A and B are shown apart, each in its own frame.
Chain A
Amino acid sequence: DAGITQSPRHKVTETGTPVTLRCHQTENHRYMYWYRQDPGHGLRLIHYSYGVKDTDKGEVSDGYSVSRSKTEDFLLTLESATSSQTSVYFCAISDGVQNTEAFFGQGTRLTVV
């Protein structure tokens, strides 16, 4: 299995509080992604990174920010959590864009109450 660790695995937080999810990889892959998975919507890309300090928005980026200060770490921050951000969050990595597999972490279940 690809070395991807997400933390925390589960979190309950209150509306309006900031939350940071961490993705750590040991594969030295260049590309890292944050997805959310919701019933009826499938997987949707939030943000991605194509290198250290190089990030860009995905399909559903509103309310989220990311940072990547090291190759191995990609942080997802909810500046002020809302109930609509209750979801399961997945981090993924890949070594390229065109011809490489994507590998996923185990997910973080976030509940905003």
Chain B
Amino acid sequence: KQEVTQIPAALSVPEGENLVLNCSFTDSAIYNLQWFRQDPGKGLTSLLLIQSSQREQTSGRLNASLDKSSGRSTLYIAASQPGDSATYLCAVNPMDSNYQLIWGAGTKLIIKP
């Protein structure tokens, strides 16, 4: 059964730092992996989608990588800003379950001004 883990559960860093959030999964048979952002009391915003054949995706200051063989993905945030404060979730789309994303519990990120 696919399991997704995000470590750390919470992270607090000063503004301006580059940081990395981690997502690991137990079964490499996935179609894709998606990173989301969730602000308090809000819905989820899709940040990046990495297909299983891709190694990385970039959007602005965000870069997500995928290493299927090791079951890992990272979300790199460059030059962090207080507005980046949110909970970041990763979800994998497993090949053996067409309709169900498997979710990590999220990393709560706080960027201190």
Contact = CB atoms under 8 A, between A and B. Distances in A.
Interface of A: 31, 33, 42-43, 45, 48, 50, 56, 58-59, 90, 92, 97-107
B2 to A, nearest CB: 12
Tell me the interface secondary structure of chain B in the complex: strand
Given A42-B106, A43-B89, A97-B31, A102 B101 contact: yes
B100 A106 contact: no
A59 B93 CA distance: 15
Contacts of A56: 99
Nearest to A90: B43
Interface string B31-60: 110101000011111100101000000000
Interface residues of B, number: 23
B17 to A, nearest CB: 27
5 contacts: A92-B44, A98-B98, A99-B51, A104-B43, A104-B46
A102 B100 contact: no
Contacts of B46: 101-104
A12 to B, nearest CB: 16
B105 A42 contact: yes
B103 interface: yes
A101 B34 contact: yes
A50 B51 CA distance: 21
A106 B31 contact: no
A112 to B, nearest CB: 19
A50 B100 CA distance: 12
B43 A107 contact: yes
